[in-house]
C-alpha cells in the first residue's frame, strides 16, 4: 500500500508537470494522504478497522487538504482561472477524510444503536458542514456527509417502527431540505457571509 500510494503520487506530479490538468493536483495530494494513512497502519501492524490511529490521522489529513484547497480558493475569488478547478478537486478529496472520522466516532459506521441523541448530533454536524459549504461556496462537504445523514435517519425511523416508511420518510425529509437549500443558496449565502468577519469576507468568493 505504501509503494502504491508513493507511485500514484509521483505519477500524478509528473502528469501535472506535463499536462497541467486540474485533477492531478488532487490526485497527488490524495496519494500523499493515503501514504500517511498507510504508514500509520504499518506502524501499528493492525487491520485498518481495528487501528485507533487511523480515524484521527484521516481527520488531520482531511483538514490539511482542506486548508490547501482554501489556498487555491482564495487565490481566485471570482473563480475565473484553473486555480478554482484545482480547489474544487481538492475539496472533493478533503471532504470524506473530514466527514468519515467524525461520524465514525459518533458510532454511525460501527453498527451502534441509533437513537434521537445520535441523530441530533449527526444533524448538528451536517448543519456545521452546511454553514462552511455556504461560506466557501463549495458543496463537497454536504455531499460527503449526506450518506451518513440518510443512513442515520433511515435507521431511526426503522427503530421506531416505521420500517416500510423509513426510506420514503428519509428521502422526503432530506430531499425537501436539499431542494430548499439549493433554491435559496444565493440568499442564504448572503446572510451567512454578512455575519462573517471582514477579513474572512475579503478572502471568500463574493456573495451573488
- Residue finishing a domain among 47, 71, 105: 105
Q: With 90 as the cut, is the pLDDT of residue 61 above it?
A: yes
Reported as half-sphere exposure (CB side, CA atoms, 13 A), residue 151 has a value of 16
Q: Which residues contact 50 (CB under 8 A, 6 or more apart)?
A: none
The SS3 of residue 2 is helix
Residues 193 and 117 reside in one and the same domain: yes
- Closest-CA residue to 40 (of 51, 24, 49, 28): 51
Residues 19 and 100 reside in one and the same domain: yes
Q: With 90 as the cut, is the pLDDT of residue 72 above it?
A: yes
Q: What is the pLDDT of residues 5-38, one digit of tens each?
A: 667 767 777 767 777 788 999 999 999 999 999 8
The full 3-state SS of 70-115, as one line of letters, equals: HHHHHCCCCCCCHHHHHHHHHHHHHHHHHHHHHHHHCCCCCCCCCC
Residues 82 and 125 reside in one and the same domain: no
Q: With 70 as the cut, is the pLDDT of residue 164 above it?
A: no
Residues 198 and 150 reside in one and the same domain: yes
Residues 99 and 116 reside in one and the same domain: no
CB 160 within 8 A of CB 138: no
Mean pLDDT of 66-73: 96
Instruction: Identify the domain containing residue 90 by its residue range.
Output: 1-105
- Residue finishing a domain among 72, 88, 105: 105
The total of other beta-carbon atoms located within 10 Å of residue 143's CB is 16
- Residue finishing a domain among 80, 105, 130: 105
Residues 119 and 53 reside in one and the same domain: no
Q: Residue 70: its pLDDT value, please?
A: 97
Residues 192 and 151 reside in one and the same domain: yes
- Global pTM? 0.88
Residues 99 and 129 reside in one and the same domain: no
Residues 74 and 165 reside in one and the same domain: no
Residues 76 and 2 reside in one and the same domain: yes
**Mean pLDDT, the chain, whole residue set:** 86
Q: Residue 28: its pLDDT value, please?
A: 92
Q: Is the dihedral of CA 124, 129, 130, 131 positive or negative?
A: positive
Q: Residue 190: its pLDDT value, please?
A: 95
Output 164 or 93, whichever has higher pLDDT.
Answer: 93
Residues 194 and 138 reside in one and the same domain: yes
Residues 163 and 146 reside in one and the same domain: yes
Number of domains making up the chain: 2
Q: Residue 178: its pLDDT value, please?
A: 80
Output 156 or 138, whichever has higher pLDDT.
Answer: 138
What Å distances lie between residue 106 and 80, 100, 146, 201, CA to CA?
A: 39, 10, 15, 32
Amino acid at each position: 500500500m505504501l509503494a502504491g500510494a508513493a507511485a500514484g503520487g509521483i505519477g500524478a506530479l509528473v502528469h501535472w508537470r506535463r499536462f497541467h490538468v486540474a485533477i492531478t493536483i488532487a490526485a497527488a495530494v490524495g496519494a500523499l494522504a493515503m501514504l500517511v494513512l498507510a504508514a500509520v497502519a504499518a506502524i501499528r501492524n493492525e487491520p485498518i478497522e481495528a487501528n485507533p490511529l487511523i480515524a484521527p490521522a484521516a481527520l488531520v489529513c482531511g483538514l490539511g487538504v482542506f486548508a490547501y484547497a482554501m489556498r487555491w480558493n482564495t487565490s481566485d475569488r471570482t473563480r475565473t482561472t484553473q486555480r478554482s478547478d484545482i480547489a474544487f478537486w481538492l475539496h472533493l478529496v478533503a471532504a470524506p477524510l473530514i466527514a468519515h472520522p467524525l461520524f465514525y466516532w459518533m458510532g454511525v459506521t460501527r453498527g451502534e444503536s441509533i437513537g434521537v441523541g445520535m441523530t441530533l448530533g449527526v444533524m448538528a454536524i451536517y448543519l456545521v458542514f452546511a454553514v462552511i459549504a455556504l461560506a466557501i461556496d463549495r458543496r463537497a462537504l454536504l455531499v460527503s456527509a449526506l450518506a451518513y445523514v440518510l443512513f442515520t435517519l433511515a435507521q431511526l425511523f426503522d427503530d421506531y417502527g416505521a420500517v416500510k416508511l423509513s426510506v420514503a420518510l428519509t428521502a422526503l425529509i432530506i430531499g425537501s431540505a436539499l431542494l430548499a437549500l439549493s433554491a435559496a443558496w444565493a440568499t442564504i449565502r448572503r446572510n451567512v457571509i454578512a455575519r462573517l468577519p471582514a477579513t474572512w469576507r475579503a478572502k471568500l468568493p463574493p456573495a451573488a
